[in-house]
Chains A and B, each alone.
Chain A
Amino acid sequence: MSKIKMVINMDYLDKVMKDYNEVSDLVIKDIKGIKIIYLETLINQDKINDYILKIIPKTKIPKNIKNLLPSPNVKDISTYKDLKEYLDNGFTIVIHDKEIIAVETKGNLTRSIEKPTTESTLFGPKDSFIESIQTNVGLVKRRIRSNDLKSKDYTVGKYTKSIITVLYVDSIAKTEELASLDEKLNSIDIDGFYDIGQLKPYLVNDDKNIFPGLRITERPDVASKSLLEGKIVILMDNSPYGIIIPSFLGDFINPISDDYVKSLNINFIKVMRFLCFFFSIVFPAFYVAITTYNQETVPTSLLVNFQNQRMDVPFPAVIECLITLITCEILRESDIRFPSAYGSAISILGALVLGSAAVEAGIVSPIMIIVVAITFIASLIFTDLDVINAIRYWRFLFLLFVSFFGIYGLFLCFFIFIANISNYEVLGKPYFYPIAPFDLTYIKDTLFKMKNNKRSKVLSNNIIKGRDI
């Protein structure tokens, strides 16, 4: 039996040499009959020295070397598939006699924990996810120190073999969502992922709605808060972001920083932020409607002022608005793409030079610059790129309706907008929740900051916060 096992081990070695034929970083060492195999680019040389090389006795080698190795993570390998998987993940394979084991010797290829860049806040924790999934899970576990916090791993991607970890709090999250998610993740069959953003279309059906059905976060505190609400957090190796599912429209409008500030003050900001959301969608359309169709709604002095400003502009108000909006979108895109060192120069060039030059040249009116500037400032409140893109989509749609029907078109489009987002579901949960269906419990946690000792029924069966079931 032991001879057969030894033959298999030698067979594995041959297979590795064959399969990794042109893989230049493959290293195979033979020290006193012990075969050591690793991929040089993935490992930490010090770990190999400390965990393996230093402990190989100079005289007699015992039959079972597994117990000699001081590494905290040593795995037995039973199949060639396991061997390849461990080798590809930075483990060192040790073959001796009939024994074949994998020792964790991963190199530190990730950066250290840094400040959040896309979700920065004045107060609150300053750590963010990085590209290492172990670190990211650790950052969450450091906040939820309970064995109720479960983490289930999946490996997806034929070539990338990306590790996905699904985190949930067992006593809070609903099981049907987990089952649905499990089904979705197991059915993924593609070549590979290189960021968690690519996972989105496999989790929610986005075809019907332009707004994002799940939230991307780089903050462990946001992930922890969501887990305690009954949501599920998905992390992926090599991605410094996590996905929170399900997410509702209200979640995108209210950042975590609200939790760290006095509630009376923040409720005003929350209301303002909600208004800004609608404002950033409808303001240009509203301006075009009242200046081209419904001039009677504008006070006389203001209307005369608008008229004087528009006297030299050769384009209809809709075209003028489109020119300004598209120019601003180009500016925003170039600002995001261009290296940040040059970013400020572009902003100054765009905002100051281009704006005033366009007004002087009579291409757009000053009031239009103000309208579009206010719209863009209102939309800057939202940091999620998917939300910003969705707002832009609806902004142009509103403009289209208004250009044909005036204020009537604005309300017509508004009904379509409300019908659209009310009709959308994420993992079977209504997207416009907690407004439709109305739920005061979740409103107290999102749209307002109020004292609340209950969890949302939609997200959890464990309704009372702090209670074990």
Chain B
Amino acid sequence: MKKILVLLISIFLLTGCSDYTELENLGITSSLFVEYDTDYKITAEIYKDDEMEYLKARGSTISEAIHNFNFESKNDIYLSHLNAIILSEDVPIEEVLYYFLRNPNSNNNFYVVVTDQEDFYDEEENIGLMINNILDRSNRNDFFVIMRDYLNKNKDIAIPFMSKDFNLDTIATYKKDKLINNLNKEKTFIYSLLTDKTSEETLKINYEDKDVVVSIDNIKTDIKVDKNIQIKLDIDATILEKDENLDTFEAKTITDIEKKINGSLENDLKKFINTLKVDETDILGLNTLINNKYKKIDKTFDKYNYDFKVSLSINKKGQLLK
């Protein structure tokens, strides 16, 4: 009985948290900017009073660089409140992703972005938080989702791309850990539609020389692998803005607008898939669908032909139509 008691007490008392740190000794990090030449060069954006403080460290590995922060700062680098990790284009992404996956002291709901910019940090602006808020609003993949995609051997990853002036409306596609392409805004929009990641997205078309803006309320994506790969999009939308001369009480007008948008989206879908085929980057996980269907991948996604079907339905509830 005594032995059991000693064992129980030991289990309870020796398995506690050992990472005691006083609050004032924490360097609460908002974002990390990782660059790579021969070594990793990391800039940490740290909260300091009402401003942000920036520390730089180098190392041959990520962990060495982060460890070297201890010689730069009086505080411990604290990664549990990371908002974003900003990677330069030449960073080997695998090492970065695995480091943060394995690091128990880091959170995993921060965003990862790629950038071609360098001096974007500003002492009076919390850049990490700003990136986090923008990507959170636009419903982009966070580290956890990117990591899940990365660990799927039949799928490639897409990471938000930050261009000048913190413009985050495009994505960078990777083939394993190598950056392949930076998709433009239109293709990024199609990617969002196909991955059901739209939020507050709008579509603008020109109908009979009059502008119409529709907001997307709901999307249902259906991708089926057969002889061809069939991509079907069912979209519920609402007219948000229209030219004053456009008569939307006409049922025909609404049908025509729907047809025009369908045609336009199908065309964009085609261009998007063609780009993926050329780049050989499967960011949609099409190879996984092929594998699920045939239990093997004889023919990769870029060898398939595609059928596209977009059915956009404008919400007419409460409207009087002629």
Contacts and interface: CB of A to CB of B under 8 A. Distances in A.
A307 interface: yes
Contacts, number: 64
B12 A292 contact: no
13 contacts: A292-B20, A295-B21, A295-B28, A295-B80, A295-B81, A300-B47, A300-B81, A300-B83, A303-B28, A304-B47, A307-B23, A310-B24, A317-B22
Interface in B1-49: 12-13, 15-17, 19-24, 26, 28, 30, 47, 49
A293 B28 contact: no
A307 B28 contact: yes
Interface in A210-247: none
Contact size range, A? 20 to 34
Contact of B17 (A300, A304, A311, A406): A406
Given A295-B80, A296-B80, A300-B83, A307 B17 contact: no
A57 B37 CA distance: 126
A406 B107 contact: no
A294 B23 contact: no
A320 to B, nearest CB: 10
Contact of A291 (B13, B17, B23, B81): B23
Interface stretch (A134-142, A148-156, A258-266, A407-415): A407-415
Contacts of B12: 412
Nearest to B21: A292
B123 to A, nearest CB: 15
Interface of A: prevailing SS = helix
A322 to B, nearest CB: 15
Interface string A398-426: 00000011111100100000000000000
Given A303-B28, A304-B47, A307-B28, A296 B20 contact: no
A308 interface: yes
Given A303-B81, A313-B24, A412-B12, A293 B19 contact: yes
A295 B107 CA distance: 11
Interface in A284-319: 291-296, 300, 303-304, 306-308, 310-311, 313, 316-317
B263 to A, nearest CB: 46
A295 B78 contact: yes
A308 B30 CA distance: 16
B49 A308 contact: yes
Given A295-B80, A296-B107, A304 B16 contact: no
A292 B23 contact: yes
Contacts of B81: 295-296, 300, 303
A405 B17 contact: yes
